[in-house]
Amino acid sequence: MTFRNWWKSALLTMLAVCLVPIWATQVFSQTLAATPPMGWNSWNHFHRTIDDKIVRTQADAMVSSGMRDAGYIYVNIDDTWEGERDAQGNIQTNSKFPDMKALADYVHSKGLKLGIYSSPGAKTCAGYEGSLGHEEQDATTYAAWGIDYLKYDLCGLRTQLKAAPTPEAAHKMMVDAYIKMRDALRKTGRPIVYSLCQYGNDAVWRWGTDVGGNLWHTTGDITDKYDRMAEIGFSQAGLARFAGPGHWNDPDMLEVGNGGMNPEEYRQHMSLWAILAAPLLAGNDLTTMSPETVALLTNREVIAIDRDSLGKQGDRVTAEGPLEIWAKPLSDGSKAVGVFNRHTTALSIPVDFKQLGFKGSVQVRDIWQARDLGTMKDSYTVTVPPHGVVLLRVK
């Protein structure tokens, strides 16, 4: 090799060393969660009772109910699957999950993916074994099992964060913990969606992408009550600019079908989450769904709004007290428009198309009624049921 050729080769090697990680980062962020993840999570309904058998029956129901074909792919096991570590420090499952690899194979055989849960602390929220000091080892184990999604819950690190000498030190500790697991997951080579269960602390939307999050909780936990759902959903305004393909704001899982809200309230919940381009993780028992619940969860046009390829989260356009109009730009130039009524009586409000950025006449479709309303000009007055929504697609 001449000196010149050596230089050439060295330069190329250096370039490759520099560029490959950048390229890899791009690939990971572009292909993983290019649209908001959809699936199911065990916590909202099954809490600590989740086990291997339930996961299998839920996976079966995901297929038989038509949810898989509507886009729900991830079957996510929340906290309480963890056992002790073995002599080498490898994480084991507890007796509720006799063979995680076999479970993953089963779930994969259904055309679904399997998700799991851990914490950057020594213990998880429910007091099980966390990943602190075992990040690489755990990521390797997850990959070997065939895990496709990790929800990483800050909860277990709370004591340490509180003990930090300054808020800045606590922030750095938290960020470092998330980066550590990001790097561990990437090192496995397996595409594993990385969900920061992080309660919105320190405005996670501002730095969630930097630590490799494909999604991050923007709030505390949802509950199956209208007030809580509305409190979370309607306080997502102004977060749109932080989300996009591969990195999503997550206002927490769905409560649709769990029984604590009426059908109008669940319709509002589902519509708002779609406009927010929120991850759609069902949180109900999929084996006992009413036809109404299936219809709410699998409405193709609503799901199409959520996972529109443009990847733009919607935002509030206007409010008149409990009446709020939100809009989400879609890839075909149309907009999804949600007219939400947070009040306990029916209320009417004109939807002003100019205010929504349209000029001239528009074509309007009522999504939940699955009905084209024809061509309109200026505005369209809708009456929205108590705690309800009118969801339009305007072009």
Which residues are paired to 391 by β-bridges? 338
State in angstroms the smallest separation of the CB of 196 from a second copy. Answer: 14
Residue 227 touching a second copy (CB under 8 A): yes
State in angstroms the smallest separation of the CB of 46 from a second copy. Answer: 25
Are 361 and 376 in contact by the 8 Å Cβ rule? The answer is yes
Are 253 and 222 in contact by the 8 Å Cβ rule? The answer is yes
**Which helix (H) or strand (E) is 374 found in, with range?**
strand 371-376
The interface with a second copy within residues 89-128 (CB under 8 A) comprises: none
Residue 320 touching a second copy (CB under 8 A): yes
Alpha carbon 285 to its chain's center: 19
Interatomic CA distance for residues 318 and 352, integer angstroms: 10
Q: Which is nearer to a second copy, 13 or 348 (CB)?
A: 348
Active site residue 221: yes
Residue 230 touching a second copy (CB under 8 A): yes
The interface with a second copy within residues 322-341 (CB under 8 A) comprises: 322-323
Residue 205 touching a second copy (CB under 8 A): yes
State in angstroms the smallest separation of the CB of 347 from a second copy. Answer: 5
Q: Which is nearer to a second copy, 66 or 167 (CB)?
A: 167
Residue 350 touching a second copy (CB under 8 A): no
The 3-state secondary structure of 106-136, one letter per residue: HHHHCCCEEEEEECCCCECCCCCECCCCCHH
Q: Which is nearer to a second copy, 147 or 161 (CB)?
A: 161
**Among the listed residues 343, 366, 373, 379, the single contact to a second copy using CB under 8 A:** 343
Interatomic CA distance for residues 133 and 135, integer angstroms: 6
**Among the listed residues 43, 46, 152, 234, the single contact to a second copy using CB under 8 A:** 234
Q: Which is nearer to a second copy, 21 or 220 (CB)?
A: 220
Residue 12 touching a second copy (CB under 8 A): no
Residue 228 touching a second copy (CB under 8 A): yes
SS3 category, 367: coil
SS3 category, 242: helix
Q: Which is nearer to a second copy, 218 or 334 (CB)?
A: 218
Among 52, 153, 306, 308, the one annotated catalytic: 153
**Which phi and psi angles does 232 have, rounded to 5°?**
-70, -55
Which residues are paired to 193 by β-bridges? 149
Give the count of residues interacting with a second copy (CB under 8 A): 34
Interatomic CA distance for residues 266 and 282, integer angstroms: 12
Query: Longest C-alpha distance within the chain, in Å?
Result: 84
Helices (H), the chain: 3-31, 43-46, 52-64, 67-70, 100-109, 135-145, 158-163, 167-188, 226-233, 263-275, 291-298, 300-306
Among 221, 315, 352, 366, the one annotated catalytic: 221
The interface with a second copy within residues 148-187 (CB under 8 A) comprises: 167
Q: Which is nearer to a second copy, 183 or 231 (CB)?
A: 231
Alpha-carbon torsion (185, 191, 192, 195), positive or negative: positive
Q: Which is nearer to a second copy, 113 or 387 (CB)?
A: 387
Active site residue 78: no
C-alpha angle with apex 359: 356 to 364, nearest 5 degrees?
A: 65
Phi-psi region of 112 (alpha: psi -120 to 50; beta: other; left: phi over 0): beta
The interface with a second copy within residues 236-275 (CB under 8 A) comprises: 236-239
Could you list the active site residues? Answer: 153, 221
Residues lying near a second copy in the complex (CB under 8 A) are found at: 167, 199-203, 205, 218-220, 227-228, 230-231, 234-239, 316, 318-323, 342-348
